[in-house]
Chains A and B, each alone.
Chain A
Amino acid sequence: MSSALDITRAVNPPRAVFLDYPLGHTTGKPHEPALQREILLQALEAFSSLTEPGSIKMLPFRWSDDQAWQATAQRGADDRRPRYDTPQYQTDEDRRRAEAAGS
């Protein structure tokens, strides 16, 4: 799968399926299982439909009518977090469980 077309073209994998959604949604929208299923069905179909190495299948789904998210993403809103070098837990409970497991 891919949601970054220029990077995928450079990487040049044997086969790829491109979904034009914002980063963090490579396989769909949250809590939309029917859409997620359709995305994956069309992606998996590429195993039989793509015959040339380096091919990229483009999926037809649009994130939104106006695609305004693309302009924001292209401008590069600074949404990266600092590159901390210690484990970054989603919750404090995760941290406690991991630390207890490690001891």
Chain B
Amino acid sequence: MPVDYIPRIQAKYAQEGYPAYKWVVNSDLPPWQPLRRPLSTSRLGLVASGGIYIAGQVAFHYKDDTSWRVIPTDVKTTDLRATHFAYDLADARQDPNVVFPIDTLRGLVSEGVIGALAANAYTFMGGIYSARRVQQELAPQLLERLLAEHIDAVLFVPV
């Protein structure tokens, strides 16, 4: 059976003495936009929350860091780094594609499955306890950047 993470997080917050974990529940029907063109002629964006940065960039901190990084989609995979407090980083540090599938996506572009990638991908460190700050700060900033990439669709890769 898939792991139930919400009860685990509730227990963790209680154990650490935080106020009760109030996870986001979106009951309304989500907005829906069908793809306007086949994926093979689409430009695809990538946003990932596993704390990926490029060597030389400032790394994420772990206390409600709402910053984001720009990762050009022609980045050298060996220049990618991972930092996060809430998951085991061992495999992401061995092969960033497990949480930031850049080689996989580039391969699918070469194969013609995807038309193109956006010029830049965007990453953040998703362990942010303030949903309000995500909604009011991080998400609008990412949206503005994504719109400027002129993409047809975006792949979100959470951890």
A36 to B113, CA, bound (A): 14
Q: Does B153 contact A (CB under 8 A)?
A: yes
Which residues of A are found within 8 Å of B100, using beta-carbon distances? 27
Q: How far is the CB of A27 from chain B (nearest CB, A)?
A: 4
Chain B residue nearest in CB terms to A2:
B158
Q: How large is the interface on A (under 10, 10 to 19, 20 to 34, 35 or more residues)?
A: 35 or more
Q: B144: shortest Cβ distance to chain A, in Å?
A: 19
The smallest C-beta distance from A49 to any residue of chain B, in angstroms, reads 11
**Chain B contacts for A7, CB-based, 8 A:** 5-6, 23
B104 touches A36 (CB 8 A): yes
Q: Is B5 a contact partner of A44 (Cβ separation < 8 A)?
A: no
Chain B residues, CB < 8 A from A82: 62, 85
Most buried by B among A18, A24, A85, A87: A24
Task: Please determine whether A36 and B94 come into contact, CB atoms closer than 8 angstroms.
Answer: no
Q: B43 an interface residue at 8 Å Cβ cutoff? A: no
* Top 9 closest pairs, chain A to chain B, by CB: A30-B95, A85-B63, A24-B87, A87-B59, A90-B81, A53-B32, A81-B85, A27-B101, A12-B26
29 A-B interface contacts by CB (under 8 A): A4-B158, A7-B23, A10-B23, A11-B26, A12-B25, A12-B26, A23-B159, A24-B50, A24-B88, A26-B98, A26-B158, A27-B98, A30-B91, A30-B98, A37-B108, A40-B104, A44-B39, A47-B39, A53-B31, A73-B3, A76-B12, A79-B87, A83-B63, A84-B85, A85-B62, A89-B83, A94-B81, A101-B56, A102-B58
